[in-house]
Amino acid sequence: MVVFSVPAEVTVILLDIEGTTTPIAFVKVRENVKEYLQTHWEEEECQQDVNLLRKQAEEDAHVDGAIPIPAASGNGVDELQQIIQAVVDNVCWQMSLDRKTTALKQLQGHMWRAAFTAGHMKAEFFEDVVPAVRKWREDGMKVYIYSSGSVEAQKLLFGHSTEGNILELFDGHFDTKIGHKVESESYKKIANSIGCSTNNILFLTDITLEASAAEEAGVHVAVVVRPGNAGLTDDEKTSYSLITSFSELYLPSSA
């Protein structure tokens, strides 16, 4: 069943990850935070992640419900466990608000790297995703990723999936180094970096604020509705083209 006819000028499909290719619950990896911190606490990289989270917590001090992360005073095991618990609570609080802070994404990226490389975890995609991407490529489309997750984390995800290493299906990756996903300038920079016009791009995302920023830049958009995603208002439902599966896209070039 076709619900979105892709305009003929589109040559690039730009994909969001969380809520679009991959279930939100998979990205959050909430259950493993404490165990990860306890195992990696002494490592330089983990300490850098905690320091960044502490700095973010200081910036968030005025935000309702924010969880502070105390600094260590060297007061033994009990204090260490209290700090670890504060980090866990802070991370869970950020995840509950689906925040995209560098501090949170950096820790998540490192947790993923540990889990993927140890073979403890494989990335999951909605079942229509990989067949559709293969088909789009056969039809001559270029396919890129634009996610709040770092490019390093994106490559881990697509490199260690239930479908194997599928990195070759993508022509490139963008993260918030190019700009935030809710800012229209980011989409102009992406078009520039790919070497196309913004109207050659179709962006698929679950977040209407991102869709709106992309549209403002002249990018075509469809909002992806998946199980587990945040609900849309009636207004959002009428303002955007909605799809529930990539198979609902019709490419004129595939006719």
Ligand X SMILES: CSCCC(=O)C(=O)COP(=O)(O)O
Q: Give the footprint of Mg ion on this chain (CB under 5 A).
A: 16, 18-19, 206
The site partner of 183 among ligand X, Mg ion, none (C-beta below 5 to 8 Å per kind) is: none
Q: Which of 14, 27, 46, 111 binds ligand X (CB under 6 A)?
A: 27
* Per-residue contact flags (x/-) with ligand X for residues 30 to 69, judged by CB under 6 A: ----------------------------------------
The site partner of 179 among Mg ion, ligand X, none (C-beta below 5 to 8 Å per kind) is: none
Taking residue 128's Cβ as centre, other Cβ atoms within 10 Å add up to 16
Q: Residue 51 is encoded by which pair of tokens? A: 């320091």
Which residue, 108 or 200, is less far from ligand X as judged by CB? 108
Taking residue 180's Cβ as centre, other Cβ atoms within 10 Å add up to 13
The site partner of 49 among ligand X, Mg ion, none (C-beta below 5 to 8 Å per kind) is: none
Q: Which of 10, 12, 16, 174 binds ligand X (CB under 6 A)?
A: 16
Residue nearest ligand X, CB atom distance? 149
Q: What one-letter code names the amino acid at 217?
A: A
Whether 194 and 223 have beta carbons less than 8 Å apart is answered as no
Q: Which of 6, 10, 13, 19 binds ligand X (CB under 6 A)?
A: 19
Going by the DSSP 8-state scheme, the letter that residue 6 receives in this structure is P
In sign, the C-alpha dihedral spanning 46, 48, 51, 53 is negative
Which residue, 54 or 105, is less far from ligand X as judged by CB? 105
16 vs 144: CA distance, rounded Å = 9
Which residue, 60 or 206, is less far from Mg ion as judged by CB? 206
Helices (H), 41-150: 44-59, 76-96, 102-117, 129-138
The site partner of 27 among Mg ion, ligand X, none (C-beta below 5 to 8 Å per kind) is: ligand X
* Per-residue contact flags (x/-) with ligand X for residues 155 to 184, judged by CB under 6 A: --x-----------------------x---
The site partner of 155 among ligand X, Mg ion, none (C-beta below 5 to 8 Å per kind) is: none
Annotated binding residues for substrate, as ranges?
147-148, 181
Whether 226 and 20 have beta carbons less than 8 Å apart is answered as yes
Which residue, 19 or 179, is less far from ligand X as judged by CB? 19
Annotated binding residues for Mg(2+), as ranges?
16, 18, 206
165 vs 123: CA distance, rounded Å = 10
Going by the DSSP 8-state scheme, the letter that residue 161 receives in this structure is B
Q: Residue 72 is encoded by which pair of tokens? A: 């260590």
Q: Residue 81 is encoded by which pair of tokens? A: 């466990």
The structure tokens 């196309």 sit at 196
Going by the DSSP 8-state scheme, the letter that residue 70 receives in this structure is P
Contact residues toward ligand X (CB under 6 A) are 16-19, 27, 100, 105, 108, 147-149, 153-154, 157, 181
